[in-house]
Structure 1
Amino acid sequence: MSEKIIPRWEWRTFANEFGEAEERIKKHERGNLKFSEEKYILSKGSNENTKFRDDLMDIKSLQEVNQDSLEQWYPTMKDTFPMTKEKIAVLFTDYFKAPVPQFKKEAYTFEAFLEELIKPCDELEVVDVKKERHIYVINMAVVEIAEAQFNGIPMRTICVEHADPDNVMKIVRELGLEGFENINYITAMKKAVGLE
């Protein structure tokens, strides 16, 4: 029996410094410290969150945006490579919103997928992402301060996530973050690499 996924509402921002808000977060006990390296595939015609990490193609789709501009993302695909050309065609049509390439193979390893199908496509761009995530729990919500790199471009981000959107906004206000722009990973990444 698979574990039921409870969608969380997300508030995220990017800046070089977060001032007093960061100090307020750090007064709480830090939980996990997570390092990761992943490849995101950005599309000019789509804002799907498409990444490859730990040998897995992982896609999250934006389900809803509420009155406070909080976003609710939900996993819509998890798959491994080699991947058949039929599944790859679905990636291009449903997620990348890009023309389906001419296939020369029945199935592709991830390396062949990138080199032969993704990189030649003018609509798509591969972004190498490194993350160092400092995880805190505040009022039952996950609060993250992360140092990230998008193709080597340094970025800093704070995120607040919880199933209850009112709790997310309460924490955002208590931390003094409401003056920062709420911006998701894909939008920030597109801006950083010039794919707006």
Structure 2
Amino acid sequence: MEKIIPRWEWRTFGQDLRQGIKAIQAYPEGKVRKSGEIYILSEKSNDNTKIRDELMDIKTLLRVNQDGLEQWTVLLKAGFPIHINELAIVYKAFNLPLPYLKKDEYSYDEYLNNLISPNKALHIVNVVKERHGFTINDCIVEIAYVTFNNQPIQTIAVEHADPELVIKTVKELGLDHYENVNYIKAMKRYVGLVY
């Protein structure tokens, strides 16, 4: 895996983020990306565990600063079939004991059907994203139109390795009156899990 530089993130979710979207759209738009992802929520953990492009992708929260910004870092990016050594990292992120594994590797379908779905502490959320990227003050700024299990919601994010640039950009765009909510918190609220 390439060298990872943890990023500071600010994000919000809502049904109507028009005011924030309008402020961001005053800047030139970059890439538009669409993706379908599977998030796996653990009742015992708030790590960000998802499957995107058939890669198990895990991020963990390192710290929260005085402005409420969150610094996240990548723990794992693993393809399928997924090996027992990688599954040990996955279950540590779930904060669950590694179950008895009958073999050393599990295919994508085996992983979801045999390991994830039967576990009552894990919840699958199907997420579709249409992400519109911008660069403002060197920060990655994103407007995304998202569905959680087919239910629509909007999200805005600002990210950079320098937290001062993130909070400066949030304030300049007039976003600081919105609640800072990460993906896992938003999804756990959606499915009724305590965060």
Per the shorter chain, which TM-score range?
over 0.9
Q: Would the aligned equivalents of 2:78 and 2:86 in 1 still touch at CA under 8 Å? A: no
Tell me which of 169, 172, 183 is aligned to 2:170: 172
Aligned to 1:85: 84
Aligned residue in 2 for 1:136: 134
CA distance in 1, matches of 2:84, 2:6: 30
> In 2, Cα distance between the equivalents of 1:86 and 1:22?
42
Q: Hey, what does 2:94 align to over in structure 1?
A: 96
Please list every run of 5 or more consecutive structure 2 residues that lacks an aligned counterpart in the other structure. Answer: none
SS at match of 2:165: helix
Q: TM-score, normalised by structure 2?
A: 0.94
Query: What is the correspondence of 1:12-161 to structure 2 with a 5 Å cutoff?
Result: 12-92=11-91, 94-161=92-159
Assess if the C-alpha contact under 8 Å between 2:44 and 2:94 holds in 1.
yes
Instruction: Please tell me whether the aligned partners of residues 153 and 192 of structure 1 are also in contact (alpha carbons under 8 angstroms).
Output: no
Task: Name 2:183's counterpart in structure 1.
Answer: 185
Aligned residue for 1:46, secondary structure, equals: coil
Shifted more, 102-111 versus 26-35: the winner is: 102-111
The superposition leaves residues 99-130 of structure 1 with CA deviations (integer Å, 9 ceiling, x where unpaired) of 33232333210111111111111110111110
SS at match of 2:3: coil
Give distance in 2, aligned partners of 1:182 and 1:169: 11
Partner of 2:9: 10
Q: How many residues align?
A: 194
Share of identical aligned residues, percent?
Answer: 50
| One-letter identity of the residue aligned with 2:95 | K
C-alpha displacement at 1:27, in angstroms? 0.8
Unaligned 5+ segments in structure 1 are none
Checking the alignment, whether the CA contact within 8 Å between 2:11 and 2:182 is kept in structure 1 is: yes
Question: Structure 2 CA distance, aligned partners of 1:130 and 1:46?
Answer: 23
- Tell me the TM-score normalized by structure 1: 0.93
